[in-house]
Amino acid sequence: MGALEAVILTIITASTPLLIAAIGELVAERSGVLNLGVEGMMAIGAVSGFGAALVTGSPGLGILAGIGAGAGLSLLFAFLTLTLAANQVATGLALTLLGLGLAGLIGEPLVGQPGVKLAPVVLGLDVLVFASFLLTAAVAYVLFRTRLGLVIRAVGTSHHSAHALGHGVIAVRYGCVMFGGACAGLAGAYLSLAYTPQWIETMTAGRGWIALALVVFASWRPWRVAIGAYLFGTVTILGFYVQASGIGIPSQFLSSLPYLVTIAALVALSGKGTFTRINTPACLGQSFVPDR
C-alpha cells in the first residue's frame, strides 16, 4: 500500500463516524430540535453494536443493534422535550450523561474482549463508508426535493404556522429526533465494529460534540456537513503525521488543533449577516406546546 493511499484511507475512516452522526443531528435540528445528547447516543450505539456482534458473530446484526439503541435513547429525549416540553439543552446534556453511564455499566463485561470486525469490501473501505455518502445524498434529496422535506423544514422554521396548516409538529419532530438517534447509534457502532473493534467506555472521545459543531459549521446543509467531517478528519490525522515525521511541536498543541480549527470555523461561518443566519432553523431549541 502506498503512503498516500494509507493517509487517505485513515482520513476516511476517521471522518465517517463524524459524518454519520452529524447528518442525523442535522435532520433533527432542521425540524427545530437541538439534541445535545449525540455523545451519549453514540456511546450506547457503540456498546450495543459491539455486544450484539460479539454474541451473534454478525457485524450486520451489531449495526442494527447500534441503530436501535441510539434510536431508543433518543426516544427518551423526544418524550421529555416534545411531550413534556422540557428544556432541550438541559435534556440533551442529561442524555449524554445517562448514555455514557449506561454504556459503561452495560459494557463492563465487554471491556477487553476482541470484537467482530466489519470487513472491508472495496479498496480497503467498509460498506458503511459508502452508506455514509448515500445517507448524505438521501438526506439532501429528501430535505430539499420532497414534500416531507418541506414539512420538516416548515416545522423547524415556524412551528406555529406549520401547526396551523395542519401538520403534526410533534409527530414530525419525533420522527426527526429518532432519525438523529439512529444515525448517532450507527456512528457509535461504526467506532466499535469498524474503527477499533473493541469496546471501552471512553471510545467516543468527544466525537458526538464534534458532530454537533459540524452541523453549525455546515450551516445546516448536508453536503457541507460532509466537507466539514472530512476537514476535521484530515486535521486530526495530519497531526499524527507531523509528529511521526519528527518535527518538535508539542503534541498537546497538535492534539488541540482540531478543537481550535472547529472554533475558528464556527467563528468564520457564523459571521453576522452571512447566510448562516438565513439557514438557521428559526425554532431551533424551542419547545412547542399546541394551544387547543
Partner 1 sequence: MKKLLGGFLALAMGLAIAGASAEDKLKVGFIYVGPVGDHGWTYQHDQGRLALEQALGDKVTTTFIESVSEGPDAERAIERLARDGHGLIFTTSFGFMESTLKVAERFPEVKFEHATGYKQAPNVATYSARFYEGRYVIGQIAARTSKTGIAGYIASFPIPEVVSGINAFMLGAQSVNPEFKLKVVWVNSWYDPGKEADAAKVLIGQGADIITQHTDSSAPLQIAEAQGAHGFGQASDMIKFAPKAQLTSILDNWADYYVERTKAVLDGTWASGDVWGGMAAGMVRMATYTNLPEDVAKAAAETEARIKSGELLVFAGPIKKQDGSVAVEAGKSLPDPDILGMNWYVAGVDDTLPQ
Partner 2 sequence: MRLVLERRTESSPRMLLLSPLLAIGLTLASGAVIFSSLGLDPLLALAVYFVEPLSSLWSIEELIVKAAPLVLIGAGLAVCYLANVWNIGAEGQFTAGAIAGSIIPVMFHGWQSPAVLPAMLLLGAAGGMAYGAIPAFLKNRFGANEILTSLMLVYVAQLGLDWLVRGPWRDPAGFNFPQSVAFEGWQALPTWGGGRVHLGALLALVAVAVLAVVLSRTLRGFEIRVLGRAPRAGGFAGFGRERAVRFCFLVSGGLAGLAGICEVAGPSGQLQPTISPGYGFTAIIVAFLGRLNPVGVLLAGLLLGVSYLGGEAAQATLGVSDKIVRVFQGILLVSILACDTLIVYRIRIVARIGRT
Q: Binding residues for partner 2, per CB under 8 A?
A: 36, 40, 76, 80, 83-87, 89-91, 93-95, 97-102, 104-105, 108, 163, 166, 168-171, 201, 206, 209, 212-213, 216, 250, 252-253, 255-256, 259-260, 262-263, 266-267, 270-272, 276-277, 289-290, 292
Task: Tell me if 122 contacts partner 1 by CB under 8 A.
Answer: no
Cα distances (angstroms) measured from residue 261 to each of 7, 71, 235, 243: 20, 30, 8, 18
85 binds, among partner 2, partner 1, none (CB under 5 to 8 A by kind): partner 2
Q: Which residue number, 57 or 271, has a Cβ lying nearer to partner 2?
A: 271
Dist CA 62 CA 245 (whole Å):
37
* Those residues with Cβ within 8 angstroms of residue 137's Cβ, 6 or more apart along the chain or in another chain: 222
Pick the binder of partner 1 from 56, 60, 75, 201 (CB under 8 A): 201
Residue 139: partners with Cβ closer than 8 Å, 6 or more residues away: 23, 26, 27, 222
In the bound state with partner 2, the residue whose beta carbon lies nearer, of 134 and 291, is: 291
Do 35 and 176 form a contact (C-beta atoms < 8 A)?
no
Query: Which of partner 2, partner 1, none does residue 195 bind to, with CB < 5 to 8 Å depending on kind?
Result: partner 1
Of the pair 42, 82, the CB lying nearest partner 1 is at 42
196 binds partner 1 (CB under 8 A): yes
Check: CB of residue 188 under 8 Å from CB of residue 46. yes
Beta bridge partners of 125: 122
Sequence-ordered strand ranges (E) for the chain: none
Residue 93 contacts residue 37 (beta carbons within 8 Å): yes
Q: How long, in residues, is the chain?
A: 292
Q: Which residues bind partner 1 (CB under 8 A)?
A: 1, 3, 6-7, 9-10, 14, 108-109, 111-112, 114, 117, 191, 195-198, 200-203, 205, 236-237, 240-241, 243-248, 250-252, 255
